[in-house]
Structure 1
């Protein structure tokens, strides 16, 4: 005897497949089985490990030198055009903050890598661990690079901005060293961005 057709007598646009049997989990759903990797995060071994503190420090150093040279040239030119110490400090603080924050935000959101990260074979991924971070996420994870904007405050602004950046760098280094996924506070502030070693 053949099995009855579950759609027999139903209009074509109303045909609904029968429910799956109890306990059945479609492929790709539910917790990973023994020996399977979950569909998120970096793989357990080899390429795809979270970037180490040393790799990330060297990448930041390279990026800092690149942006620092450009900022110094621009600030020298702008400073030579003004006789006002206050105006020069104001412009220098704004230009430097925009350059540093803009550099990291642009390259990470568009390419997933700054020039320093390319050299060190690192890549920034968004919270989905599959694509580049958005511009907003990249700004949020690098926001401390813009603390130099506090230099617009006369006399003490540069000192306060420098101390704020130093405190942020110490926090970042401590987080990278202690967190299993090497995510610092600003990665979490950005929704869960992550730096991965890709080579």
Structure 2
């Protein structure tokens, strides 16, 4: 008994061999009423109408997709924190401020003490005024270059400018300009009661900043609003 038989080559009009198509049969046309579509479709019917897909030749054209960030650009410089990042509360920000105060204050106190012993009272007074700018320089530099001071880096915080980027230098300076009160206190150091009054004003301002941070939905203090809307976020 023989196995199954397959159609073989035959005269014209007979079924072609298994696995071959009839050379005399025309392929179905695209959109044929029978429901079968040809491939490739006739010219002009593919791609779909305009508005569904970019026309041929437009893939990768300028404007079709957002450009990649420049080489070496930090993701923070793309404004990613303008819409992301949980705002940091007053407590953790105060902790970062205390750490920064120790980082700046201890070296300044040591230098002032050495100058006072070696050079006398006048030199100590001049050095005190000059070194009072150290805190402003410290905060302005780190916030405008790194996005965070050393204290904020230790506590995983970052300062964000109004546009979501690392604050520019003028923004960082405006945000910390209230530290000029320490400079004023040094300038008035030769008058007995004025440094005390400046110290009270500084303490009151710190309380006002803490209250506004707690009451603001974005945790922005007075100094943040004065700088145009800076924020401190967790990273």
The two structures share one fold, judged by TM-score above 0.5: yes
- Counterpart CA distance in 2 for 1:117 and 1:186 is 16
- Counterpart CA distance in 1 for 2:82 and 2:168 is 18
Q: 2:117 aligns with which of 75, 80, 84?
A: 80
Contact preservation (8 Å) 1:42, 1:50? no
Task: Specify the structure having the higher radius of gyration (Cα).
Answer: 2
The 5-angstrom pairing of residues 1-199 of structure 1 reads 41-43=82-84, 48-84=85-121, 87-95=123-131, 97-129=132-164, 131-150=165-184, 151-153=186-188, 154-155=190-191, 156-198=193-235
- Counterpart CA distance in 1 for 2:123 and 2:87 is 43
The TM-score, its normalising length taken from structure 2, stands at 0.61
Cα drift, residue 56 of structure 1: 0.4
CA spacing shift, 1:99–1:65, aligned 2, 3 Å: same
Cα drift, residue 164 of structure 1: 2.3
Cα drift, residue 144 of structure 1: 1.7
- Counterpart CA distance in 1 for 2:81 and 2:142 is 24
Structure 2: which 5+ residue stretches go unaligned? Answer: 1-43, 45-79
Question: How many pairs were matched up?
Answer: 156
The TM-score, its normalising length taken from structure 1, stands at 0.71
